[in-house]
Copies of this chain bind each other. A is one copy, B any other.
Amino acid sequence: MNFASDNTGPVHPNVMAALNAANMGYALPYGADDATAQAVQDIRDVFEAPEAAVYLVSLGTAANSLILATLSQPWETVFCHTVAHIHEDECNAPEFYTGGTKLTLVPGDDAKMTAQSLRKSILAEETRGVHGPQRGPVSLTQATERGTIYSLAEIQEISATAKDFGLPVHMDGARFANALQTLGCSAAQMTWKSGVDAVTFGGTKNGLMAVEAVVFFDPKHAWEFELRRKRGAHLFSKHRFLAAQMQAYLAGDLWLDMAEKSNTACARLAQGLKQTPGVVLDFEPQANIIFAQWSRAAHQRLHAAGAKYYVMAGDHTTGPADELLPARLVTDWSASPEDVDRFLEILRG
């Protein structure tokens, strides 16, 4: 019963097999190997973007920060949601990589900016000549940090708003596959066909060991990005091992299968929570994350049974038994129906 995070579970066996298979003989370093060329091509195919500039790095924070640094200037501000990972959970990495670009926090329910809230935020900047920050990229997270998902229409409206001001759009897709599986559309539809210019195409939270792809649909950013990646110390020497993971990820739509598994487990869990008296869901789960509240007594039962998840506020070990405390539950590809059911059973007491 591990619902702590989608980075606590195992790497998919196919991915481990690919790593083992890649460990044969010699390969050119720094991405000049054949496997990397193939992985790049595979990603272009997935996105139906034959001209895209595609790179592999190991961490989502690196992918996000390097993309934003490439798309912005240090006197600009990035527009992102109040709870965006780039704002809350990267220890100022975006500010570091951009050289001090500001982040303007755009409000919105369900962890999502709207075209309206974005427009208002954009209009408030670049109104004071050289004195204020200049307008920079828009960054949205799909799926969001609260487990919700932007619809295609919402992405398109946001992109259109950005384009009204000539601003590029970045998608932080740490949970790209989970969102895509829910929407049931193509990767192209969820990105460049909806006005997205660059994507962090996450893999680590969905069964890889440590690989995220960077995708620029306009290859004009290629050389600058390559220099930024090297200068940021994110260019792997034994690059074939990143490529092997990505190839296995995409082969036979493994990535979508894993996303379906984690989303299905999440839906089963959400359904059970809704049917449990005394449990309140904070958001309607659309991917693989749930924010919900239940009694301290139930938290204590779950912890006693060894369930792993984060209690987001308050001390579950002591206090009134019936006080509601918030929890976050995350499922990954390895979550089983049995685990979900057992969790619900214990929760219900």
Copies of this protein, total: 4
- Among B2, B75, B77, B96, the residue within 8 A (CB) of A74 is B96
Alpha-carbon gap, A77 to B101, bound state (A): 14
A227 sits at the interface (CB 8 A): yes
Contact segment of A22-30, A160-168, A189-197, A263-271 = A22-30
Bound form: Cα–Cα A80–B26 in Å: 32
Give the residues in chain B near A28, CB-CB below 8 Å.
4, 8
Per-residue contact bits, chain A 234-265, to B (CB 8 Å; 1 contact, 0 not) = 11111001000000000000000000000000
A183 within 8 Å of B (CB atoms): no
Residues of B contacting A24 with CB < 8 Å? 10
| Secondary structure type dominating chain A contacts | loop
Q: Which of A113-166 contact B (CB under 8 A)?
A: 128-134
B-contact bits for A71-99, CB 8 A (1 contact / 0 none): 00111110000000000111111011111
Q: With A8-B28, A10-B24 known to touch, is A130 a contact of B99 (CB < 8 Å)?
A: no
Interface extent on A, as a size class?
35 or more
When chains A and B are docked, how far (Å) is the Cα of A280 from the Cα of B204? 49
Question: What 1/0 mask marks residues of chain A from 4 to 38 whose CB sits below 8 Å from any chain B CB?
Answer: 11011111000010011001111111100000000
The reply on A308 being an interface residue by CB < 8 A is yes
Give Cα A336–Cα B39 distance, bound, in whole angstroms: 31
Chain B residues with Cβ below 8 Å from A209 are 19, 238, 241
Stretch binding the partner chain, chosen from A44-52, A57-65, A293-301, A320-328: A57-65
Instruction: Check B29 against A232 for contact (C-beta < 8 Å).
Output: no
On whether the beta carbons of A2 and B26 are closer than 8 Å, the reply is yes
Interface-central residue, A7, A92, A128, by most chain B CB under 10 Å: A92
Measured between beta carbons, the chain B residues less than 8 angstroms from A2 are 26
Contacts of A134 in B (CB 8 A): 91, 227
Is A100 within 8 A of B103, CB to CB?
no
Given contacts A5-B29, A8-B27, A210-B238, contact A59 B91 (CB under 8 A): no
Q: A7-B237, A226-B130 are in contact. Are A99 and B101 (CB under 8 A)?
A: no
Is B91 a contact of A204 with CB atoms below 8 Å? no
User: Is residue A316 within 8 Å, beta carbon to beta carbon, of the partner chain?
Assistant: no
Partner pick for A210 among B5, B30, B103, B237, CB 8 A cutoff = B237
Q: Contact between A100 and B96 (Cβ–Cβ < 8 Å)?
A: yes
Contact of A132 among B62, B91, B204, B238 (CB under 8 A): B91
Complex CA distance for A29 and B6, rounded to whole angstroms = 10
Contact among B27, B93, B95, B227 for A91, CB-based, below 8 A: B227
Assess whether A75 is in contact with B8, with CB atoms less than 8 Å apart: no
Q: List 21 A-B contacts (CB under 8 A).
A: A2-B26, A4-B26, A7-B238, A9-B26, A10-B26, A11-B241, A16-B20, A59-B234, A73-B224, A88-B131, A91-B227, A92-B102, A95-B95, A95-B101, A96-B232, A98-B100, A100-B231, A204-B237, A210-B236, A210-B238, A233-B234
The 8 closest A-B pairs by CB, nearest first: A95-B100, A62-B233, A7-B237, A61-B233, A130-B230, A91-B230, A2-B26, A91-B231
